[in-house]
Chains A and B, each alone.
Chain A
Amino acid sequence: DAGVTQSPTHLIKTRGQQVTLRCSPKSGHDTVSWYQQALGQGPQFIFQYYEEEERQRGNFPDRFSGHQFPNYSSELNVNALLLGDSALYLCASSLLGGNGEPQHFGDGTRLSIL
């Protein structure tokens, strides 16, 4: 049973570019959340998608946007990249319906901005 998978593993971009990160949730999960983890810090919540809609959003600018597809996979898009966007981007999946399930994390995409 595959867990949460993210691609790519590493990515290097320059300031001003845009980037798309991808996430496939754990089998049976219907909800995807995205987090940003700066070096030496705890993950910060970006947003959560459920039934292809943004359900919750953290304190991140509109440059950060996302999408959830009918198969529950998700994308995170970041436009006009800044140096401060360099971080590990984590995807977590969970099950909201029924008895629910806790959030399970992927190993992340390491994004470096030059």
Chain B
Amino acid sequence: QQQVKQSPQSLIVQKGGISIINCAYENTAFDYFPWYQQFPGKGPALLIAIRPDVSEKKEGRFTISFNKSAKQFSLHIMDSQPGDSATYFCAASMEYGNKLVFGAGTILRVKS
């Protein structure tokens, strides 16, 4: 019940295309869902986050879509750029500031 399942494991997208990464969770007590971006040799950096009271949140080229009934959420990266090539992790927690449960990660490569 503490797991967050992330797919796909890896993704190759052409420059300018849309990258889509999906996550699913079981524990309905989760109420905070962040996405993190990690470059090699660096720690995860918070990209965007959502709470279950909204179905979508957009920040620049990054959008989170949230489906509470399906217990799924996804990250969309519009107009993907080579600089977006990194590993992306979805995560979930119960109450803000509590421990984060991470997905296994998606390695994104944007081809120029």
- Residues of A at the B interface (CB closer than 8 Å) are 4, 31, 33, 35, 40-45, 48, 56, 58, 90, 92, 94-96, 100-108
- Cβ of A94 and Cβ of B97 under 8 Å apart? yes
- Cβ of B42 and Cβ of A107 under 8 Å apart? yes
- Cβ of B105 and Cβ of A41 under 8 Å apart? yes
If over half of B's interface residues share one DSSP class (helix, strand or loop), that class is named, otherwise mixed; here it is: loop
* Separation of A102 and B45 alpha carbons in the complex (Å): 11
Which among A40, A56, A101, A105 is the interface contact of B98 at CB below 8 angstroms?
A56
- Residues of B at the A interface (CB closer than 8 Å) are 6, 34, 36, 41-46, 49, 89, 91, 96-105
If over half of A's interface residues share one DSSP class (helix, strand or loop), that class is named, otherwise mixed; here it is: strand
Residues from chain A with Cβ under 8 Å of B43 in the complex: 4, 90, 92, 105-108
* Separation of A43 and B36 alpha carbons in the complex (Å): 11
Question: Given A105-B43, A106-B43, A107-B41 in contact, is the A100-B97 Cβ separation under 8 Å?
Answer: yes
